[in-house]
Amino acid sequence: VLSGCGVYDGTEIHEASAILVHLSRGGAEVQMYAPDVPQMHVIDHSKGQPAEAESRNVLVESARIARGKIASLAKLTTADHDAVIFPGGFGAAKNLSTFAVDGKDCKVNREVERVLKDFHKAGKPIGLCCISPLLAAKVLSGAEVTVGHEEEEGGKWPYAGTAGAIKELGGKHCVKETAFSLTPFYEAHVDTKNKVVTTPAFMCETELHNIFDGIGAMVKNVLKLTGK
């Protein structure tokens, strides 16, 4: 499930690409979706500033990542899929929810909420990375997720405050290390009760290959939980 195209106002493109590569390697068939709604705003990624008087549609922008093969989120059903995965990017906090504006009092897009609740009720796994675990924390009360560390540690974890917000939203935050001491990839947290799998991804300032491998751990666990 995508939220636009570009880290500051949509889906984090490297995360989406990594998820697709790992799903492909795992032999999964993939269908991409996005809500057919306007973006909260448009960011000029070369400046990191809002592009005034410009508007874009989340589904239309997400189609850039999907190479055109995308459908409205309203068409996503549990009957057609074994699992659902949400990449990160600020779009999760701006377009899939209002977290960027409302914090712990945020609302989740009704189709996103429906999908999360439907997959949870069906006992089918849900994967999320970067900031998107906040969606599960808000919708699935008591879900265990990780966004990495709970302290900034000199800028290594610049979005560490999100961990506190996860708790305020009703979720349980689990601290995960940047990497295992002897292996070069991120940890993924598996909430076996709720079948929710999360990994920090770009919540940490680290090398791209670490993020790629951490997402791989998340995808691997999601596929494992499908039982196929």
Residue 138 has pLDDT above 60, yes or no: yes
Using one digit for the tens of pLDDT, what is the confidence trace for 107-123? Answer: 999 999 999 999 999 99
Q: What is the CATH number of the domain that holds 157?
A: 3.40.50.880
Give residue 181's Cα distance to chain centre: 25
Question: Does residue 22 sit within a domain?
Answer: no
Nearest to 173 by CA among 211, 194, 147, 205: 147
What the block records as the tokens of 152 is 């900034």
- Could you list the residue range(s) of the whole structural domain that residue 87 is in? 71-226
Q: Which residue has the higher pLDDT, 184 or 78?
A: 78
Instruction: Establish if 125 belongs to a structural domain.
Output: yes
Structural tokens at position 135: 């969606």
Q: Is residue 37, in this structure, part of any structural domain at all?
A: no
Q: Assess if residue 139 is contained within a domain.
A: yes
Which pairs with CB-CB distance under 8 Å and at least 24 residues apart come from 206-212?
206/156, 206/178, 206/179, 208/14, 209/184, 210/178, 210/179, 210/184, 210/185, 210/186, 211/14, 211/15, 211/18, 211/186, 212/14, 212/18, 212/21
Helix (H, G, I), strand (E, B) or coil at 30: coil
What pLDDT is recorded for position 181? 40
Residue tagged active-site, from 5, 130, 174, 204: 130
Q: Can 130 be counted among the known catalytic residues?
A: yes
Q: 95 near 35, Cβ under 8 Å?
A: yes
